[in-house]
């Protein structure tokens, strides 16, 4: 007959066996887990060391490129000396740091800078009063898009022919244009641009006023009126994670216009020192009638113009 003592001993034995089994199992699992974790930790440590080594190498390479970029202007020092003066024309929205870097490159190359003319967002003419103001300046009445085009044609025609500033001063005073002088305090626009000037017309993928409204038609008109005196330039960026490529967006229509072949040069990487070098050399090439499409984007023929002979 099975009594209570028997049950107690049996249950005690069962629980003891479970305790021993759990203890032994836990020891084995812990050892296996520790071994696995150690292996994983060692793998992570190795990968981290490799990544640090690669990062060090990349930082060193970037540092070398930065030093080279800082000295890049020296490669074109004096190339534009004793040549025609240069006027930069840009649309608001373009990074001013890019324009400042371009100015430094042109100055080092010996160019005589006449300042920077900026097209403002007011040229969208999305307010009736703006259209009326421009209509008064031009002495004409028309739809806003026709008025805007007429203003661009008037500017380009005067500048390309070297016959004076056209409506530059009036448009500046009305806020359609801004002007950064080459020297502080210079506000007289009578001689801007000078006769036989060269022009760098700059815009990007997202200017304050759409490219098809201002930058493209202006560069096109100016290139037709001032043959081989225009470089159309665009800063951009290549594709990156979560950021689409924006390269040769403004220049797409210009490069695709067969009527502009041989009339101007283009540069699609103005944000880079190589693009600024290309701009300097493109201006130099225009003196002898050489044109081309330079950079790394769609439609570029080569990175830099051929060296002058």
170: left (phi over 0), alpha (psi -120 to 50) or beta: alpha
- Alpha carbon of 56 to those of 49, 60, 66, 68, 125: distances in Å? 10, 6, 15, 18, 52
Residue 29 has a pLDDT of 54
Residue 188 has a pLDDT of 82
CA dist 18 and 158 (Å) reads 100
| Parts of the chain with a pLDDT under 70 | 1-11, 13-32, 34, 37, 41, 44, 56-72, 239-243, 308-309
List Cβ<8 Å contacts ≥24 apart for 127-136.
Answer: 130/176, 133/174, 134/171, 134/174, 134/176
CA dist 118 and 75 (Å) reads 29
Cα Rg, the chain, nearest whole Å: 33
Residue 11 has a pLDDT of 63
Residue 149 has a pLDDT of 98
β-pairing verdict for 198-202 and 230-233: parallel
Global pTM reads 0.78
Helix (H, G, I), strand (E, B) or coil at 260: helix
Domain residue ranges in the chain: 1-76, 79-294
What is the enclosing helix (H) or strand (E) of 267? strand 264-267
- Alpha carbon of 175 to those of 110, 126, 137, 141, 144: distances in Å? 31, 14, 12, 19, 16
């Amino acid at each position: 007959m099975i009594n209570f003592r028997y049950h107690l001993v049996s249950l005690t034995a069962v629980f003891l066996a479970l305790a021993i089994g759990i203890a032994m199992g836990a020891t084995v699992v812990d050892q296996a887990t520790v071994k696995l974790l150690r292996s994983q930790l060692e793998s992570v440590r190795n990968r981290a060391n490799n990544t640090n080594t690669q990062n060090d190498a990349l930082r060193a390479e970037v540092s070398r490129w930065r030093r080279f970029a800082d000295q890049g202007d020296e490669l074109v020092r004096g190339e534009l000396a004793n040549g025609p003066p240069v006027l930069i024309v840009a649309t608001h929205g373009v990074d001013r740091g890019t324009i400042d870097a371009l100015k430094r490159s042109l100055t080092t190359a010996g160019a005589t800078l006449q300042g920077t003319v900026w097209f403002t967002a007011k040229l969208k003419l999305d307010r009736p009063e703006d259209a009326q103001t421009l209509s008064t300046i031009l002495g004409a009445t028309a739809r806003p898009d026709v008025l805007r085009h007429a203003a661009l044609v008037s500017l380009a025609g005067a500048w390309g022919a070297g016959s004076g500033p056209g409506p530059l001063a009036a448009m500046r005073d009305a806020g359609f244009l801004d002007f950064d002088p080459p020297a502080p305090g210079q506000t007289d626009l009578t001689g801007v641009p000078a006769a036989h000037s060269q022009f760098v017309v700059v815009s990007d993928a997202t200017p304050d006023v759409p490219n098809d409204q201002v930058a493209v038609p202006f560069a096109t008109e100016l290139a037709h009126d001032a043959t081989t005196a225009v470089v159309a330039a665009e800063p951009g960026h290549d594709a990156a994670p979560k950021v689409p490529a924006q390269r040769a967006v403004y220049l797409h229509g210009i490069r695709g216009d067969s009527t502009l072949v041989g009339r101007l040069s283009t540069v699609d990487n103005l944000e880079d020192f190589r693009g600024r070098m290309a701009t300097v050399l493109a201006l130099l090439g225009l003196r002898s009638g050489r044109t081309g499409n330079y950079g790394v984007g769609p439609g570029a023929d080569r990175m830099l113009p051929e060296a002058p002979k």
